[in-house]
Structure formats: C-alpha cells, structure tokens
Structure 1
C-alpha cells in the first residue's frame, strides 16, 4: 500500500487548514508581543511571554507541513525552477518591505539611534544585504543582527535554505530516511539547548548555526507529520488550540530552559500541528482564522522597525506601567493595521503582478516549443 499516495488523497479532500492559519496569526502576535516585552524586562524570568521566541520554531514546523501538503505531489511535474520562483514571489516582497522600513527607522528614529556613526557605504551595503538575505552582522546599534534593518529576516534566511534542501533532497527521499534526518536534527536541537542554556539563538553572528538546528528539526518533523498522516481528529477548535499554543509562550523562564524548550519544540509543537490539522473549525471562527493566517507573515516581517524605535523610547523615557501598557497595546493594534495596509496595497498586488508575468513567460515558452 502506498502510504504517501493515501495521505495525499486524504488531505486533498480538505481545501485548507484554516485552524493552522489561525494559529500562525496567534504565533505572530505572540512573537511581536515578546519583542516589545524583551525591551521592558531585562530579566527574562519576569517576562510574562518570555518564551514568545519559540513561535519561530512553530512557524518552521508549520512550514514543513504546509510545503509537503502543497508541493509533494507536484514539484516533480512543475520543476525546481518553477518551485523556487513560486516561493520567491510568495516570500520576498515582504523581505524587501521590511528592509525598507528598517532602513527608514534607522535613519529617522526620533528617539535615538546613531546613523551618523556609520558611513553611507556601510549603510547601503547593509541594506543591500538585507534585501538579498545575505547575513551581515556589522551594525552595533542593531545588536549585530544578521540582518540589521530587519531582524526577523534571519528566520526567512533559514526558510529559504529549507526550501532549497526540500527541492533537491527532501521531496525525493522516503519516509524512513526523512525520519532519520529528523532524529539527527533532534539531537542537534538538544545539543544547542544544552550548550547555550536555551533555544533563543539563530539571529546573530555568534549564534548563526543555532538557526540551522532549529529549522532542520522543525521543518523536517512538519514534513514528516504530513507524509505520515499524523492527523489527530479532535474537537478542541480554534479557541482550545490557541490556549494550548499560548501555554508554550508563557511557560516560565527557569534554569531548566535547556530541557523544557527542546521538549516543546521536539514534541509539543508537532502535536499541536497534528491537532490543528484534525480539529473541527466552527463557522464563527472561519473568517478570523483566514484573516489571522493572511496577516501573520506581513506582521512578522514589518513590525521590527517600530520595535527599535520603541526600544530607544523606552530606554530614554522609562514610561510608567500604565503608560507602557497603553503604548504596547496601541502599538500592537497599529502594527496589525500597518501590516494589513502593506499586505493589501503592496504585497498582494505585487505578488499577483509577478505571478502573472511569470505565467505569461511560461505560456510563451510553451507556445514557442510547440
């Protein structure tokens, strides 16, 4: 019996995994909130969402599942070039948008920053590298992020890497070999957590290879969930699964992070993906989940320019608790609004334009060959 074929047939009966889309949006809000709070709580143990950074590992796991679902049964026919083109059109417009916003925030931050300390050439080189996802951790005022003008782009760098490995290796191998690679990646995750004391790395030069371990395991296990049909039918719904996902992010910071964080990444997130794929979505939450899924990537890729300004404001003005609460809540709402505008005015039209141009080119090539 061909398990992969049966799995594909089963999953194709469902047009979309709306609850997983909704959870992606919840994770995006969690990581944005975490980025606000890490400025406020220099002592991470006091941060109520101190594990919000694990949302990235959830993204990676979900990405493996979705890529398998979307491309396993057609990448051979469509070809690697078309696959890469589709992924670039899907992902890269917001990489550019986030870089532009980050550059503007760096140059015109009203609350601080020192762009005058850097030569025009260095700033332009950093911007160029940010647009093309070339790691260059050289700006001290940006904490030596891999991508100084758009810090979250570090995860997109590894996302692209996972897509390359998928196209050339992962889609070709059987489930047994995929399982072996997943186990080896799990060992790497445990090593990173034990050595560093946590799984926070990947965004900076010194922790660069931590990001490789994080994407390797989570993407592989997400793909394995799809191919193994580890779909758990349940009635938790969007609300129940949202609560379960948030529990991972509000998990207390402790001296046991080196153990608790790998447990969440290795077992808990894959379980949530399996539950999310099998959960029943009530009609009342459908629009919320669809919107949540659509806004998640624009929000993730455009929010950090504001975070640097917030950090400089907080450091220089030290607002009180009530004022700070108002600023953070208002900031979250405004960032969602900005992400929506970027999505509607820029991202969706540009992706449509690029897709149409690419399809026209393919049609001409096909006509010419005939």
Structure 2
C-alpha cells in the first residue's frame, strides 16, 4: 500500500529502533575482533562473521542520512559541518590515544608511520592500498574515512532518484563483474572490495534507495513484524551460505537481509517498540564510541584478564568497553558536538544545524 502523503513522517522524526540496531552491529564487530585484541585472555572466535556489522552500518548510514535531510532547502555547508562535528572529534581523540599508547610498539619504520599518520590526520587512509593505511593506527577508523567520502557525495545524490539509479548501476556492475577483473582490482588495491569507498558506495547508495521504498509504502505493524523476522531468517541463512563467495558478491547478497531489517524496524511493530526503550537507544547512541575505542581498550586489558578464563575475560572486557563507550558519549562526544555546532553560521545553516538527526552508520 502506498504511504499517503499526509501519513509521511516529518523528516525530523526519530527512528529510535534503528539507533538501537547500531549497538548490535557494533557488538558484532567487537566480537569479531576478539581473537586479534584479546589473544591471551580469550583467544577464541566468538563471532567469526562479525565484520559484516560494518556492511550493515554503511546501509543504515545511507538510509538515515536520507531520512534526516530534505532536498528542499538542503544546506550543504550545514550538512558538512554537522557530519564533521559528529565523526572527526572522536576520530582524532582515538588517533592521538593510539599514538600515545602504541606508537613505539608498532613495528613499522618511522617513514611508514609518518605516511600512515598523515593519511589518518587527513582521514583519507581508506583511499590508499595496504594495511599500513587501511589498518594503521586505530585500525577501525578506515570506515570513518569511507564514510567521509559518502558524506562528500551525499548532496549530489539527494535530489530526484539519483541514489536509486546509482545503486542500480553499482549493483548490476558488481553482479556482472568478471572474476578476473575483480581479482585484478584486489591485486591492485589490497582488500579493495572491503576497504575502498568506491566499493562500499554500493551499500551506502542501497540505504538511500531503501529510504525511497520506505517512504512509498506503509504495510502496517503485522507486515512490519514479518519483514523483521524475514530479515533475520535471511541473515541467518545467507551469512553461512555466502562465506566462500567473492567479497563484492557477498556484499551485494547481504543487502537483502540488511535491507529487510532496516525497513522492518523503520516501519514499526512490537519489536520496534521494544528497541525504542531508553536503554537500547542509549547503547545505540554510544555505539560509535564503542566501535572506535574497543580495539585499544581490549589490547590494554588483555594481559590483565588471563587469570579469569576465556568466558569471564570476554564478559569483563565487553562490559568495560560498553561502559567506556557511554562515558565517552556523555563526557566527550556530546559536549564537543554541541560546542562545534554552536559557532556562528548563516541563519539558514543555524536552523539546519539545530535539526535533530537520527543516528545512523559507522559515524552515527
């Protein structure tokens, strides 16, 4: 059923259940990193496919940014300013913290460290091939570099059906890409389909296209619940089934369950109301800090948790990471964001900057 114009939610409407889903995606990434950053105390692989949480973040980011912005009266400067205030302060805080804690123990040469450091300072490190850049310093920040590319392109995709067309072109291109060509891209750029913004633009544009579908239909709570459950079942089926697929085809296939989950929880229903309670929403709001800080925190905690045993060590480390993320949100992210958004700007930009924005992807 087409959603009547009178029933369309105001663009300022919050979608708290989607904010809560960010916490689940962030925890998936946290659990994926456990064998790398808690090798002595845990050493297990509690969620081997947890890196897919980043794919969900990118789709959600496109959906939420499109939801929060109307093409009419869109202020590009205000948008860029808000996005920079949202992601860059924590990126720089964690970059400085990592440098202070781990720079001396990093085995690369000083020249390589400087090259990677400059790329990280400019937040362009996802554009360069090799783990020196994509995983240098605070390893998870490569996704922030990719998000900034999406933010730069967002004003160009906002009007009309540009995002829908871009998604269609990218999806068909990925589907028809010869395996030799895909392998060549991977040789030219290590991990191209995982790290490079040009490859991950598929997911961001899918999120924007998904929002166009959400605006068009209003299926009711019963159907929303079925869509949610269908997304969950599709995720449980496709994640193991696609484990051996090429990365670009797997990213394309997983748009189905991720899209169904985002649509279902944006529509409503009992499960949506459950995830709209204050506690899961708070955890979702703190998910960006959780994502950006857990890697370093776990490395620091690892030698001190060995005596607890794997299960207890994982529980303690996870609880500490969640607590730290809430503290970082309350004591750093939110105050700094308010301060940066308070500085003088043109009157129209001030109105745009005062707009409450639902929380979305990796960078919120």
After superposition, the Cα gap between the structure-2 partners of 1:101 and 1:277, relative to the gap in structure 1 and judged at 3 Å, is same
1:345 aligns with 2:321: no
Of 251, 255, 278 in structure 2, the residue corresponding to residue 266 of structure 1 is 255
Aligned to 1:135: 125
Cα distance in 2 for partners of 1:265, 1:363 equals 42
- Give CA-to-partner distance per residue, 1:256-289, whole Å, 9 cap, x none: 4669834542311111111110122336851123
Greater CA deviation, 58-67 or 152-161?
Answer: 152-161
After superposition, the Cα gap between the structure-2 partners of 1:253 and 1:310, relative to the gap in structure 1 and judged at 3 Å, is farther
Aligned to 2:290: 299
For structure 2, list consecutive stretches of 5 or more residues without a partner in the other structure: 351-364
Greater CA deviation, 204-213 or 260-269?
Answer: 204-213
In the superposition, the TM-score normalised over structure 1's length comes to 0.74
Deviation of 1:12 (Å): 1.5
Deviation of 1:233 (Å): 3.6
- Give CA-to-partner distance per residue, 1:203-239, whole Å, 9 cap, x none: x9512454335432211121112123256544539x9
1:290 aligns with 2:277: no
After superposition, the Cα gap between the structure-2 partners of 1:96 and 1:232, relative to the gap in structure 1 and judged at 3 Å, is farther
SS of 2:132's partner is coil
After superposition, the Cα gap between the structure-2 partners of 1:356 and 1:18, relative to the gap in structure 1 and judged at 3 Å, is same
Cα distance in 2 for partners of 1:181, 1:137 equals 20
Cα distance in 1 for partners of 2:285, 2:48 equals 25
Task: Say if 1:158 and 1:212, in contact at 8 Å, map to a contact too.
Answer: yes
Aligned to 2:360: none
Cα distance in 2 for partners of 1:282, 1:155 equals 30
Task: Say if 1:53 and 1:249, in contact at 8 Å, map to a contact too.
Answer: no
Cα distance in 1 for partners of 2:178, 2:266 equals 28
- Give CA-to-partner distance per residue, 1:54-86, whole Å, 9 cap, x none: 111111111111111111345xx2421121111
Deviation of 1:53 (Å): 1.1
Cα distance in 2 for partners of 1:13, 1:137 equals 32
Cα distance in 2 for partners of 1:86, 1:304 equals 26
Aligned to 1:55: 53
Aligned to 2:190: 206
Supply the RMSD in Å over aligned alpha carbons: 4.2
Cα distance in 2 for partners of 1:306, 1:16 equals 31
Higher relative contact order (CA 8 A, sep 6+): 2
Cα distance in 1 for partners of 2:60, 2:293 equals 20
Task: Say if 2:232 and 2:257, in contact at 8 Å, map to a contact too.
Answer: no
After superposition, the Cα gap between the structure-2 partners of 1:218 and 1:263, relative to the gap in structure 1 and judged at 3 Å, is closer
Task: Say if 1:295 and 1:340, in contact at 8 Å, map to a contact too.
Answer: yes
1:225 aligns with 2:210: yes
Give runs of aligned pairs for residues 314-325 of structure 1, distance below 5 A: 323-325=309-311
Cα distance in 1 for partners of 2:178, 2:262 equals 22
SS of 1:152's partner is helix
In the superposition, the TM-score normalised over structure 2's length comes to 0.75
Task: Say if 2:119 and 2:133, in contact at 8 Å, map to a contact too.
Answer: no
Task: Say if 2:98 and 2:138, in contact at 8 Å, map to a contact too.
Answer: yes
Of 123, 126, 133 in structure 1, the residue corresponding to residue 116 of structure 2 is 126
After superposition, the Cα gap between the structure-2 partners of 1:256 and 1:160, relative to the gap in structure 1 and judged at 3 Å, is closer
Aligned to 1:86: 82
Of 23, 29, 32 in structure 2, the residue corresponding to residue 31 of structure 1 is 29
